[in-house]
Amino acid sequence: MSRSRRRKLRIFRAAVFLVLGAFFLVPIGAMFEFSTRGVGITAPRTLVSWTSIGTYPDLVAGIIASLQLAAITSVAMLLLLLPTMFWVRLRLPALSRVIEFICLLPLTIPAIVLVVGLAPVYRWMSINISSSILTLGFAYLILVLPYAYRALDTGLAAIDVKTLSEAARSLGAGWGTVIWRIMIPNMSSALLNACILSVALVLGEYTFANLLAYENLQVAIAFLGLANAGVSIAVAVASLLFAFILLLVLSFVGRPRSRVARAEEIPAPTVGAWGQRT
């Protein structure tokens, strides 16, 4: 590639980076600016909106509930989808289209329709089982299915599920061991992606919680916005930052260890004739 072409490409990349950066950061910057305004046009900047976040019990409860729901939904999603997809790929490949269709269905149904359909179920659950906000995890599990399915499907497609599981079975591993010791470590990126998508969806969910009369983080922010816009915006920015940091941490956790050196970069140990690379 010529030098001028390389320079043009660098400039293009920088321009794309700047435009996209501005697209995401300007609104967040504006929100931060708004949340630090004092009362009155000439009032100095203040962090009162930020420091008073903890003084709103409903908001704190909403934050805790959303975090719990994110964890519950992620775990339930993995417990439901992983063994199902694994088994379908291995033993019932003819069903894969059906499973894919079912998992992608929530994408095609508007949230409001889903809520209307789920409302009687939740009414029954609140009377007979529990009215805890954590029961929202059931609805959220449906909500995250399409995204989690896609992420996990990509991960499963990247490994030879059949051969690896048969190899492990022939060595004495039971099905649980095959999933836990062989499959999961080899699709950690896909699992992480599925979890990240689930966490992001649950933390940002408003419609289900509001219409089913539960107060999660987004509903609490909306209510707070009616009483104190500054705190409401501060919480919105804080939740964005929190989600960003969480995704960053998860990405580092899921990064493969430094074992990814390429074969040809590693000198062959000195051994006998059969030690040569073949």
Partner 1 sequence: MTATPTAVTTRNANHGGVEVRLEDLRRRYAGVTALDGLSLTMAPGELVALLGPSGCGKTTALRLVAGLEEADSGRIVVAGQDVTGQPTNKRDVGMVFQAYSLFPHMTAWQNVAFGLQMRKVNARHRRQRAGDMLELVGLSGFADRFAHQLSGGQQQRVALARALAIQPKVLLLDEPLSALDAKVRARLRDEIRRVQLEVGITTLFVTHDQEEALAIADRVGVMHSGRIEQLGPPTTIYSRPATPFVAEFVGLTNRLPGVVRGGRVDVRGASLPLVQPEAADGPAVALVRPEAVSIASEGEATPGPLVGTVIATAFLGATSRVTVDLGDITVLAQLPTADAAAIPAGTRVRLTLRPDPVLIARDEPKADRA
> What does the binding site for partner 1 look like in residue numbers (CB under 8 A)?
159-160, 163-164, 166-174, 177, 181-182, 185-186, 259-263, 266, 268-275, 277-278
Residue linked to tokens 């080899």 = 186
Q: How many Cβ atoms are within 10 Å of 31's Cβ, its own excluded?
A: 16
Beta carbon of residue 127, minimum distance to partner 1 (angstroms, whole number): 45
User: What are the CA-CA distances from residue 225 to residues 67, 176, 220 (Å)?
Assistant: 20, 48, 8
Q: How many Cβ atoms are within 10 Å of 36's Cβ, its own excluded?
A: 18
Beta carbon of residue 263, minimum distance to partner 1 (angstroms, whole number): 4
Beta carbon of residue 80, minimum distance to partner 1 (angstroms, whole number): 24
- Is the CB of 5 or the CB of 262 nearer to partner 1? 262
Q: How many Cβ atoms are within 10 Å of 122's Cβ, its own excluded?
A: 21
- Is the CB of 128 or the CB of 163 nearer to partner 1? 163
- Is the CB of 37 or the CB of 169 nearer to partner 1? 169
For residues 107 and 146, the answer to whether their CB atoms sit within 8 Å is: yes
- Between CA 255 and CA 243 the distance in angstroms is 18
- Is the CB of 41 or the CB of 273 nearer to partner 1? 273
- Between CA 195 and CA 73 the distance in angstroms is 9
- Is the CB of 127 or the CB of 261 nearer to partner 1? 261
| Tokens (6 digits) for 4 | 């001028």
Beta carbon of residue 261, minimum distance to partner 1 (angstroms, whole number): 7
| Tokens (6 digits) for 17 | 């980076």
Beta carbon of residue 150, minimum distance to partner 1 (angstroms, whole number): 22
